[in-house]
């Protein structure tokens, strides 16, 4: 279960370096394509689709990058905690604290599309406990709350 802890929020070059370090420490390679996809993903303030990312990476590389290639890399990023997937939108956000294990709780604005990640170990712990009690293994809670953010309210 995730525990209460302080996050060091990375951004810019620091975020890219933290992501690279996390991925290589996990035994994966930080390739040029993975770097480009992460760099583009990190520019989005709202959840981005694989198609949005593929378009921007294609422009950056000056050749077409297929969305299915982007999906595979995003799946790796989610598995290694470099990105979070907003399930209801099939979209992704760069994790500002890669390497920090925690459950995903998103507050999603139905007006502007923003997604705010919060940590609540008590809530996600209760979900884990209920799922484990129902016989589920390898539980990874992803909780999404939809509503209107303070800016749009």
pLDDT tens per residue, range 134-144: 999 988 788 99
**Cα 153 to Cα 53, 107, 110, 111, 138, distances in angstroms:** 29, 14, 11, 9, 37
For CATH 1.10.10.10, the residue range(s) in the chain are 12-94
What is the pTM assigned to this prediction? 0.82
Using DSSP's 3-state secondary structure scheme, residue 122 falls into helix
CATH assignment of 104-147? 3.30.1490.190
For CATH 3.30.1490.190, the residue range(s) in the chain are 104-147
φ/ψ of 91, rounded to 5, equals -140, 170
Round the CA-based radius of gyration of the chain to a whole number and report it: 16
Using DSSP's 3-state secondary structure scheme, residue 121 falls into helix
What's the CA gap between 110 and 70, in Å, rounded? 26
The DSSP symbol for 26 reads T
**Cα 127 to Cα 24, 76, 87, 104, 136, distances in angstroms:** 31, 24, 17, 12, 11
pLDDT tens per residue, range 93-130: 998 878 666 677 899 999 999 998 888 888 988 998 99
If one counts every other C-beta atom within 10 angstroms of the C-beta of residue 69, the result is 15
Q: Is the dihedral of CA 135, 132, 101, 77 positive or negative?
A: positive
> CA-based angle 41:47:48, to the nearest 5?
55
At the top level of CATH, the class of 12-94 is mainly alpha
pLDDT tens per residue, range 44-67: 989 999 999 999 999 999 999 999
């Amino acid at each position: 279960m995730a525990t209460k802890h302080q996050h060091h929020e990375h951004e810019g070059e620091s975020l890219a370096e933290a992501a690279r370090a996390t991925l290589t420490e996990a035994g994966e390679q930080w390739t040029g394509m993975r770097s480009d996809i992460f760099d583009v993903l990190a520019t989005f303030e709202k959840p981005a689709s694989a198609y949005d990312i593929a378009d921007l990476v294609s422009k950056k590389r000056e050749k077409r990058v297929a969305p299915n290639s982007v999906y595979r890399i995003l799946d790796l990023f989610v598995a290694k905690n470099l990105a979070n997937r907003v399930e209801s939108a099939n979209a992704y956000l760069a994790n500002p604290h890669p390497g920090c294990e925690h459950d995903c709780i998103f507050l999603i604005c139905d007006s502007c599309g923003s997604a705010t990640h919060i940590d609540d170990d008590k809530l996600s712990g209760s979900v884990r406990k209920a799922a484990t009690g129902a016989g589920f293994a390898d539980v990874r809670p992803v909780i999404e709350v939809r509503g209107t953010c303070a800016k749009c309210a």
